[in-house]
Amino acid sequence: MTATTESTNGSITEPLRSRRNHWNNQVHRHALMTPGRIAIKYLDSATTWRALDERSRAFAAALHRRGVRFGDRVLMALLNRTEYIEAVLGANLIGAIPVPVNIRMSPAEVSYLVTDSGAKVVVTEKVLVPLLDAVRAATGAIDTMIVVDGDGDPAHLDYEALVAEDPSDLPGIDVPEDTVAVIMYTSGTTGKPKGAMLTHTNLQAQAVTTINAAVGSSDDDVASVVPPIFHIAGLAGFAPVFYRGIRAVIHPLGAFDADTMLDTLEREGTTSVFMVPAQWQAVCAAQRARPRDLALRTISWGAAPASDTVLTAMNESFPQALNMTAFGQTEMSPVTCVLQGKDALRKIGSIGKVVPAVTARIVDPMMNDVKPGEVGEIVYRGPNLMKGYWQNPQGTAEAFRGGWFHSGDLVRQDEEGFLYVVDRAKDMIISGGENIYCAEVENVLYGHPKIAEAAVIGRAHEKWGEVPVAVVVLADGAGELTLAELGPHLDENLARFKHPKDLVIIGELPRNASGKVVKPELRDAYGSKDAGLAD
């Protein structure tokens, strides 16, 4: 298929290239050994390992033919679909770096990613072309736009036409494991997004971590990919799939419907699925209302805090499945801690223990280790730790201060070594000299029968400096809720100084595409009103 195999300096390196441990070689291995098995299922379309390998190689050749070279960035602005994975694999084959973009961003936000990453090529689809046209006009930076479902515009390249081109001129480019495989921009809930550079080594560490945590796995496993692929939980979910050669079912993006999700899990014979807590809450209610016969062996959650109420509902709704917590962050590829299913009930609320590949400490602001039971920031080292932030040496230096990666997560460790997230370091409220951890207050609020969702923010106060304010979404049929009515529940579960001093009821909490509550929006809307607060 290729006349020569070359490294970035032009030397012949076929033996070296063939033994590289990254997902392109894994896909190629399955294409050779189990060519007819289904690799990816999306809606009514099934793609075999052979087709996935061939289409990604054809796309790589098309990119290379149009001037994309080793280290160039390729923006991925797509909904969940098979072509997303083909395009990522194709870019990686020639050493280019995919840059997934949150398609729910505004043109200004996407423009920032384009400018910051320096991407000249974008892969998108018809429904998102207006967004990318606006970005192109604003930045003047996009030279080539490839549309996967063909919009007929002669200014755009048709993805299928590119894949149909002769790939025989694809050069064999050696891509070392420490090459950046993807630039994942952080959600930016506290500022401008930063581009975490994840290498092929990082993604393989993620694969091994996930496989190690699995229980009772088999070659017939089916993994459902529910998160957006532009999120690390979605894209990195393919790392163990490619490593093991099992089937992945890609779920389309759009308005989340719990009944549709359950019907799909039943039809596809899904054995493992990851969802965010808000999705699990809806799915549990739908399963109780109309039980499905599911093949689930592992259910897992992450990306946002889960209340004890949601975790209990998961255990009760899917008693045949092990309830596994996967905790981490984009910069760690992303999993750093796992609560295995055997511990889910007795350690409910814990994020589990640090995975074998990761070294972690719990430290105070001076980088001293805290005692068990005390709260500190968890810091990391390990093979799944990002290379750094793209073109951001200051941000990288700050994140790696003291020689460890600073997660920003405040945790405590119990006597058995299980970890519990107390809060985000930037989300802690200091009221009258006392530390108030928003996550702790939120967990109590979730336990009230009238509350479906809750977020706690700080509000300036003349006497106490800052006080907590509860912003909640009421459960269906809850009617009304007042702070006075909430009082007995708070008294039973929280010290008085931790009680919210105001209760704001809204229809929906603002969330980003990762499922995380965007607290800056809540602070802007409800964090600066001083009137009516109790002392």
Ramachandran bin of 30, using left for φ above 0, alpha for ψ from -120 to 50, beta for the remaining angles = alpha
Q: Tell me what pLDDT residue 4 has.
A: 39
Please check the confidence at residue 26 and state whether its pLDDT lies above 50. Answer: yes
Strand (E) or helix (H) holding 395: helix 393-399
Please check the confidence at residue 1 and state whether its pLDDT lies above 60. Answer: no
Q: Are strands 172-173 and 180-185 parallel, antiparallel or unpaired?
A: unpaired
Q: Which CATH architecture has domain 5-176?
A: 3-Layer(aba) Sandwich (3.40)
3-state secondary structure 477-515: CCCCCCHHHHHHHHHHHCCHHHCCCCEEECCCCCECCCC
CA-based nearest residue to 345, from 418, 437, 242: 418
Distances (CA, A) of 97 to 32, 229, 313, 405: 25, 15, 40, 23
> Tokens 């995380």, residue?
516
Amino acid at 167: P
The predicted model gives 405-423 an average pLDDT of 91
Amino acid at 233: A
Asked whether 246 and 270 are in contact (CB, 8 A), the reply is no
Q: Tell me what pLDDT residue 67 has.
A: 97
pLDDT confidence tier of residue 461, bands split at 50, 70 and 90: confident
pLDDT digits (tens, 9 = 90+) for 28-40: 999 999 999 999 9
**Radius of gyration of the chain from Cα atoms?**
24
Q: Tell me what pLDDT residue 13 has.
A: 55
Question: Which string of DSSP letters, residue by residue, matches 82-126?
Answer: HHHHHHHHHHHHTT-EEEE--TTS-HHHHHHHHHHHT--EEEE-G
The predicted model gives 269-290 an average pLDDT of 93
The predicted model gives 250-271 an average pLDDT of 95
- Strands (E) across 200-286 are located at 222-225, 247-250, 272-275
The predicted model gives 268-283 an average pLDDT of 92
Mapped onto helix, strand or coil, the DSSP state of residue 358 is: coil
CA-based nearest residue to 411, from 402, 400, 422: 422
The predicted model gives 213-238 an average pLDDT of 90
More confident site: 214 or 133: 133
Where are the CATH 3.40.50.980 domain residues in the chain?
A: 5-176
Where are the CATH 3.30.300.30 domain residues in the chain?
A: 430-526
Distance in angstroms (rounded) separating the CA atoms of residues 462 and 346: 42
pLDDT digits (tens, 9 = 90+) for 219-231: 899 999 999 999 9
Q: Is the CATH code 3.40.50.300 the one for domain 430-526?
A: no
- Strands (E) across 154-282 are located at 157-158, 172-173, 180-185, 195-199, 222-225, 247-250, 272-275
Please check the confidence at residue 338 and state whether its pLDDT lies above 50. Answer: yes
- Per CATH, which fold does 198-422 belong to? Rossmann fold (3.40.50)
> Tokens 């496989």, residue?
211
| Strand order through the sheet with 272-275 | 45-48, 38-42, 247-250, 222-225, 272-275, 298-301, 322-328, 335-339, 353-354
pLDDT digits (tens, 9 = 90+) for 85-133: 999 999 999 999 999 998 877 788 899 999 999 999 999 999 999 999 9
The predicted model gives 369-376 an average pLDDT of 94
pLDDT confidence tier of residue 46, bands split at 50, 70 and 90: very high
pLDDT digits (tens, 9 = 90+) for 312-321: 899 999 999 9
> Tokens 């930076």, residue?
141
Q: Tell me what pLDDT residue 513 has.
A: 55
Distance in angstroms (rounded) separating the CA atoms of residues 92 and 437: 42
Q: Tell me what pLDDT residue 515 has.
A: 65
Q: Which residues, in sequence order, are CB contacts of 393 under 8 Å at separation 6+?
A: none
Mapped onto helix, strand or coil, the DSSP state of residue 208 is: helix
pLDDT digits (tens, 9 = 90+) for 475-518: 999 999 999 999 999 988 887 888 999 999 999 999 865 567 88
Question: Which string of DSSP letters, residue by residue, matches 172-190?
Answer: EE---TTSEEEEEE---TT
Q: Tell me what pLDDT residue 304 has.
A: 66
Asked whether 336 and 329 are in contact (CB, 8 A), the reply is yes
Distance in angstroms (rounded) separating the CA atoms of residues 42 and 126: 18
Distance in angstroms (rounded) separating the CA atoms of residues 220 and 222: 6
Distance in angstroms (rounded) separating the CA atoms of residues 383 and 209: 11
More confident site: 4 or 322: 322
